[in-house]
Amino acid sequence: MAGEAQDRVYRLDEGWACRYMLLPDGRRQITALYLPGDFCEPQWVLAGRAELPIVALTDVIATEIPLGSIGGDSDEGVSELTEALMTNFNRQSDWIVSLGRRSASGRIAALFAEIYNRLQRNGRVRQPCTIPLTQQDIADVWA
């Protein structure tokens, strides 16, 4: 929940989730999609609290990673979270460009290409490639 102190991060093992913001008129804007293999909000390791709520879009299975355990005996956890932070930062930049400069159909095509590439990198592409987003979810990403 937004504003809550966080003492752990979550890696999504199965399912899809999103981070979102509710606008004053009640509309939802999805600001990040989390797919299997993604860390949900890796910046919690720096901030120690949630800025925006996260909601599951499908049934999910996630691994809890206590913040205190990161960087224990090895730098592996730190490296993974640093990479996730940079990936999220770059993805957000791509989304800003899409919203500002692509047509509606171009934004949807870019979203589907991004999803496909992310799933493929994590070995999750199956034929057919199921994308469990509703029309409303897609609109809430790119509206």
The per-residue pLDDT for range 31-69, each reduced to its tens digit, is 999 999 998 887 776 777 778 888 999 999 999 888 776
The architecture CATH gives domain 8-142 = Sandwich (2.60)
- The residue ranking higher by pLDDT, 78 or 112, is 112
Which of the residue ranges 40-49, 106-115, 134-143 would you say has the lowest mean pLDDT?
Answer: 40-49
Average pLDDT over residues 119-142: 85
Burial profile 28-65: b = 16 or more Cβ within 10 angstroms, e = fewer: bebebbbbbbbbbbbbbbeeeebebebeebeebebeeb
Q: How far apart are CA 108 and CA 89, in angstroms?
A: 20
> Could you tell me the pTM of the whole model?
0.82
Q: Decide which of 10 and 77 is more confident.
A: 10
Contact 44, 7 (CB under 8 A): no
